[in-house]
């Protein structure tokens, strides 16, 4: 029997009991949609909440204090290069702090003393740790950014007002390392966001170490770094990398280690969703099993006739398996389309509902339900697979139909 | 390829006709044993699992049917005529003895082997026609061709030709419930002939027909036999019907009482 004819045959059979087929397809479609929607919420929440959270500098950060040896050896350039060579390391930031003196151009006031952070600017930019409120990231070595409260440097008391600092944007100033005589001209191109902790003052000026290097200025032993941090490209690599660095002989600290169940939480969350989805699928499969059993019973005479004139048992089995797969397929198609619609609606409605409920706007471009292609493929495969599995027993029963009993012995 | 269907009258030359026959089965143009039963005994088990009882139905059956023969089988009700035919059809398995059909030993065939063999070599005509109620006359007749994997266009041609020949082409789109007994039987004959069987097994084929339809069926059987050498086994309780046969087998209490040996 040709495949084309088998399909035609099945389609004709399915139409014999439209109502029953419709109900079964409906049940299958509903459970398929249920599975997709439930998983899509899992994916959606993961995508917006978790991915954002896990990409955050805070959780991907590994703090490196010093080497573990007798004199707490400071981190050198060689160590930095070693960290950078590790897999999944996004950036290694390092900085030294020093006092700077800012020269007043027109000598109207006395020179101001400011707090300087000498850093590897490129790494700092890559780490994602440097977040600007105004301006742009430095591109040239003589471009610098300043803290939100930089203007407090010139006043008696601390106003902690970023608006005051804004007037310094795009200004060019002359600075020198306290105790050195080389004057360096730098341009303020960006202002760092205000610190989250209100009591913290942020008055520093962040300068690329290359600037000092090119001016021949050194800070004591310039090969050593104070404030070294390794940033991973995903939170999932933090633990193992932290361990590796620690075992290589450094004192390290990663915030994420404090949140022990972090990764298992999401596993449990998703497993729970999958469990609920699987229950839905099982219910649908019972429906398909029931429908197919009834179809076989109903068609015993047809099966008997077909066997009597010479249709192979495997053909009979295939016809019924195709029939249940067909129900699963149609159900999956409808279920997928419905879940796409529902997903769209949920994403539109959810922020509104959330706003009403907690009187707070959810984060921007917050996705509540997200349906990746892989989810559709998996759900459709599961649906059709389960449908076929549900059809196996009825199909086997069909192949075992006794010709003479089916023809009621009136041959 | 079927340009000169062996059932078509349109064949121009005798040579062409035989050529076509040879393609189907060279035996059709030859004499020889078509069916051979040796020492068949058969009994049914009845009762519950605890109280089983064997009911012997067939005893020491030895039977040879020649190629191109029409064999009528008669006998009282319950003497095992149908059981005999069921053994030859593969619907039940022989418990003892040997069955040869068309030079093939079928005694130990599996269900699948039987299915293929039936499709290719045997045609069936039933008392109650056994058409699938949800299929049209056309689809019912087409069924063996579909099972055999014949392409659609060719199927349509064959079925149409056959139905024309049986004078039922007007009813192709009718469902069995919309046909008279005689028409239904013609559809079932069309179905039986679709794959050019060498044997047609008929259990009371005229049992549900009026005398007019009975006569035309018998006429058609004769015609098929004479023109195409198809072997027939026909069970009947009607003397008139039995006369169509070259030989009549009389069964009594599960034994062959008369006509067991080929003429
Ligand atoms: N499946 C069966 N189980 C038990 N007994 C059966 C079965 N089929 C047939 N018989 C018995 O076998 C005998 C022969 O039946 P059958 O071949 O149908 O007779 P006939 O066709 O000559 O009227 C009957 O007595 C019938 O009761
Ligand atoms: Mg009988």
Q: How far apart, in whole angstroms, are the C-alpha atoms of residue A314 and residue A396?
A: 9
| Residue B42 near ligand 1, beta carbon < 6 Å | no
Work out the pLDDT band at A346, boundaries 50, 70, 90.
confident
Comparing CB atoms, the residue among B86, B91, B115 nearest residue A313 is: B115
Comparing CB atoms, the residue among B117, B152, B203 nearest residue A411 is: B203
Q: How far apart, in whole angstroms, are the C-alpha atoms of residue B255 and residue A283?
A: 57
The closest alpha carbon to A410, from B120, B235, B191, belongs to: B235
The closest alpha carbon to B167, from B213, B133, B211, belongs to: B213
Query: Which ligand approaches the C-alpha of residue B47 most closely?
Result: 1
The bridge status of strand B199-203 relative to strand B231-235 is parallel
How large is the average pLDDT for residues B190-219?
93
How large is the average pLDDT for residues A21-35?
91
The region of weakest confidence among A216-220, A271-275, B12-16, B147-151 is B12-16
Read off the tokens for B236. Answer: 């009947």
What count of Cα atoms within 13 Å lies in the side-chain half-sphere of residue B79? 18
Q: Do B133 and A327 touch, CB atoms closer than 8 A?
A: no
Work out the pLDDT band at B61, boundaries 50, 70, 90.
very high
- Alpha helices (runs of H) in B70-150, residue ranges in sequence order: 81-89, 111-121, 137-147
Return the SS3 of B48.
Answer: coil
| Residue B77 near ligand 1, beta carbon < 6 Å | yes
Tens-digit pLDDT profile for residues B126-158: 999 999 999 999 999 999 999 999 999 999 999
Phi, psi of A68 (to 5 degrees): -90, 85
Read off the tokens for B120. Answer: 């290719």
Residue A52 backbone zone (phi > 0: left; psi -120 to 50: alpha; other: beta): alpha
pTM: 0.72
Tens-digit pLDDT profile for residues B33-58: 889 999 999 999 888 888 889 999 99
Work out the pLDDT band at B100, boundaries 50, 70, 90.
very high
Residue for token pair 């051979």: B36
| B202 DSSP β-pair partners | B125, B234
- What CATH number labels B14-26+33-257? 3.40.50.300
Comparing CB atoms, the residue among B82, B132, B192 nearest residue A411 is: B82
Instruction: State the helix-helix crossing angle for B152-165 and B181-193, rounded to 10 degrees.
Output: 130
What count of Cα atoms within 13 Å lies in the side-chain half-sphere of residue A246? 13
Read off the tokens for A236. Answer: 């999932």
Q: Whose CA is nearest to atom 18 of ligand 1?
A: B82
CA distance A289 to chain B (A): 23
How large is the average pLDDT for residues B107-114?
95
The pLDDT value given to residue B14: 40
Tens-digit pLDDT profile for residues A294-334: 999 999 999 999 999 999 999 999 999 999 999 999 999 99
The closest alpha carbon to B138, from B155, B118, B154, belongs to: B155
The closest alpha carbon to A138, from A230, A214, A209, belongs to: A209
What's the gap in Å between B78 CA and the centre of ligand 2?
7
User: Radius of gyration over alpha carbons of chain B, in Å?
Assistant: 19
The pLDDT value given to residue A114: 86
Q: How far apart, in whole angstroms, are the C-alpha atoms of residue B260 and residue B65?
A: 9
Return the SS3 of A405.
Answer: helix
| A191 DSSP β-pair partners | A134, A146
Tens-digit pLDDT profile for residues A216-229: 887 766 578 888 99
The closest alpha carbon to B43, from B116, B120, B96, B85, belongs to: B96
* Interface ipTM > 0.90: no
- The chain A residues in contact with chain B (CB within 8 A) are 1-2, 4-5, 9, 12-13, 16, 301-302, 304-315, 403-404, 407, 409-411
In B, minimum Cα distance to A313 occurs at B112
């Amino acid at each position: 029997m040709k495949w084309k004819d088998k399909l035609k045959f099945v389609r004709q059979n399915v139409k014999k009991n439209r109502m029953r087929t419709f109900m079964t397809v409906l049940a299958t479609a509903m459970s398929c949609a249920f599975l997709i929607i439930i998983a899509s919420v899992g994916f959606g929440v993961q995508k917006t909440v978790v991915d954002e959270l896990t990409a955050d500098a805070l959780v991907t950060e590994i703090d490196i204090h010093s080497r573990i040896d007798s004199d707490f050896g400071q981190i050198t350039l060689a160590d930095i290069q070693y960290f950078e060579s590790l897999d999944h390391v996004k950036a290694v930031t390092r900085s030294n702090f020093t006092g700077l003196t800012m020269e007043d151009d027109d000598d109207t006031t006395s020179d101001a003393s400011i707090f300087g952070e000498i850093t590897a600017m490129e790494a700092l930019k890559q780490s994602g740790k440097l977040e600007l409120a105004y301006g742009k990231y430095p591109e040239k070595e003589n471009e610098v950014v300043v803290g939100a409260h930089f203007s407090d440097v010139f006043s008696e008391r601390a106003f902690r007002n970023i608006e005051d600092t804004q007037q310094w944007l795009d200004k060019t100033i002359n600075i020198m390392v306290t105790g050195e005589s080389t004057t360096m001209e730098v341009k303020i191109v960006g202002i760092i966001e205000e610190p989250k902790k209100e009591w913290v003052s942020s008055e520093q000026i962040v300068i690329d170490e290359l600037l000092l290097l090119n001016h021949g200025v050194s800070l004591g032993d310039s090969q050593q770094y104070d404030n070294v941090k390794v940033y991973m490209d995903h939170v999932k690599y933090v633990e193992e990398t932290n361990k590796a660095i620690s075992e290589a002989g450094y004192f390290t600290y990663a915030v994420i280690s404090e949140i022990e169940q972090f990764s298992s939480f999401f596993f449990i969350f998703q497993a729970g969703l999958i469990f609920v989805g699987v229950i839905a699928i099982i219910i649908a499969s019972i429906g398909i099993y029931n429908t197919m059993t009834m179809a076989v019973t109903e068609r015993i005479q047809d099966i008997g006739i077909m066997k009597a004139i010479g249709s192979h048992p495997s053909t009979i089995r295939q016809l019924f398996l195709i029939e249940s797969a067909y129900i699963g397929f149609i159900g999956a198609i409808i279920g997928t389309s419905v879940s796409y619609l529902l997903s769209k609606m949920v994403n539109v409605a959810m922020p509104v509902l959330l706003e009403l409920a907690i009187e707070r706007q959810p984060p921007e471009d917050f996705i509540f339900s997200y349906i990746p292609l892989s989810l559709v493929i998996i759900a459709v495969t599961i649906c059709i697979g389960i449908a076929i599995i549900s059809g196996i027993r009825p199909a086997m029963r069909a192949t075992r139909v006794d010709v003479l009993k089916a023809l009621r012995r009136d041959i | 390829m079927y340009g000169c269907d062996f059932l078509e009258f349109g064949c121009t030359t005798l040579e062409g006709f035989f050529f076509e026959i040879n393609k189907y089965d060279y035996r059709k143009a030859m004499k020889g044993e078509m069916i051979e039963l040796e020492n068949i005994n058969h009994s049914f088990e009845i009762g519950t699992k605890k109280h089983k009882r064997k009911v012997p139905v067939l005893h020491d059956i030895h039977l040879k049917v020649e190629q191109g023969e029409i064999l009528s089988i008669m006998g009282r009700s319950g003497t095992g005529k149908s059981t005999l035919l069921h053994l030859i059809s593969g619907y039940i398995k022989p418990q003892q003895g040997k069955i040869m059909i068309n030079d093939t030993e079928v005694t130990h065939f599996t269900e699948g082997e039987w299915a293929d063999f039936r499709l290719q070599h045997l045609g069936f005509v039933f008392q109650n026609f056994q058409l699938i109620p949800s299929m049209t006359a056309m689809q019912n007749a087409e069924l063996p061709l579909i099972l055999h994997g014949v392409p659609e266009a060719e199927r349509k041609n064959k079925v149409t030709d056959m139905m024309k020949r049986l004078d039922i082409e007007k009813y192709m789109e009718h469902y069995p419930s919309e046909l008279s007994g005689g028409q239904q039987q013609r559809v079932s004959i069309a179905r039986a002939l679709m794959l050019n069987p060498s044997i047609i097994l008929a259990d009371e084929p005229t049992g549900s027909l009026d005398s007019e339809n009975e006569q035309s069926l018998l006429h058609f059987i004769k015609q098929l036999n004479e023109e195409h050498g198809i072997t027939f086994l026909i069970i009947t309780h009607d003397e008139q019907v039995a006369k169509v046969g070259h030989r009549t087998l009389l069964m009594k209490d599960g034994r062959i009482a008369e006509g067991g040996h080929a003429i």
